[in-house]
Structure 1
């Protein structure tokens, strides 16, 4: 309930403020497990991906945010779950796999943190782990533009990343993360 309300309110403000243009929504499957992987240029990326996605998304958020009483409750209400950054967090991995096993959508930023320069960073292995350990469809997403009011911001959902070969050859999580990041990079280049 809170998720739908928050999505409505944020969309009402963000669409005109950042002149958001969305393309490729049809690339997000209507049902079944999905992982949406996006570049990360701002703290506003999670709500922007959240309002532009045709599906409700569960995001990981850094554990420290959940320690703030109001913010922690709000994040839980909008389907976020905590992750300890900088280490392997088995609870967060279990939560993410559990979401996917129920046929839901997981939102990830493979870089793990936002880019201060706007350039793509190196992906962490986490996105690759979820891609290889689940049967989820991996949808790359590129956020292109600026968060300056009344400038244009594009959100592009690309065609699903093929994981079958990587799963068959038992690729590492890092290899899978690199393949996902390559697709995000292509989307950015095509739309810049």
Structure 2
């Protein structure tokens, strides 16, 4: 329930702030009954929100670097929404075992940014191993739009493009060659999706009517955000999302 609420709240705030989001090829997203790994290049702090909103009602778990869990409220938020910490410097087996288990036994899919960090184009092999072990498809997506909060608030156009699900069942072993082939397929789809969005990225902004309406909506959005922050701070002392998840 909290996942759905927080996703809706953040999308509402983003709409009040920007209001110029467009989604392409959503019909390619697998049915909600199918689990899959949703992957994208990590380009902004808000592209995961647009990804999660476009694929609703599907819910996800996602990896997050352990440093993000140090903040009491933000750490509690992402744990409530299915995030689990990973140590990028010293990853252990849980970074693979937990998402594989969830993909096999729960109704939640997995969001991964195989490049690891924002603005990187190096596709890592973790998504290949998890997809192979869980026997799920890989769903590629790309974000195009403002990279700064200033651009987002100015109403610059946001585009999310979804590609063709990638089936890796034909790859027998996830050795170096197998991982390289999965990475090649993912990167090729990222490149194709980016190319498809180029004609749309002309710096179009929403019209003045919508900008006024968004400005009025921004006030209740901020109030809801503050109330959620206070609630989350208090709840973090009495509710442990990890224990509930177990």
TM-score when normalising by structure 2: 0.70
Change (3 A) 1:39 1:133: same
| Counterpart in the other structure of 2:28 | 27
Equivalences, count? 188
Cα distance, 1:169 vs structure 2: 8.7
Contact 2:144 2:158 in 1 (8 A): yes
Root-mean-square deviation (Å): 1.9
Q: Which has the higher strand share?
A: 1
* Equivalent residue for 2:110, pick from 100, 106, 116: 106
* Equivalent residue for 2:82, pick from 62, 79, 82: 79
What SS does the corresponding residue of 1:165 show, helix, strand or coil?
Answer: coil
Gaps of 5+ in 2: 199-246
Q: Which has the higher helix share?
A: 2
Distance 2:92 2:17 in 1: 36
Is 1:53 the counterpart of 2:94 in the alignment? no
Cα distance, 1:16 vs structure 2: 5.0
Change (3 A) 1:16 1:73: closer
Cα distance, 1:2 vs structure 2: 0.9
Distance 1:65 1:111 in 2: 17
Cα distance, 1:167 vs structure 2: 3.6
| Counterpart in the other structure of 1:122 | 122
| Counterpart in the other structure of 1:154 | 159
Contact 1:7 1:51 in 2 (8 A): yes
| Counterpart in the other structure of 1:186 | 192
Contact 2:125 2:179 in 1 (8 A): yes
Higher alpha-carbon Rg: 2
Contact 1:32 1:104 in 2 (8 A): no
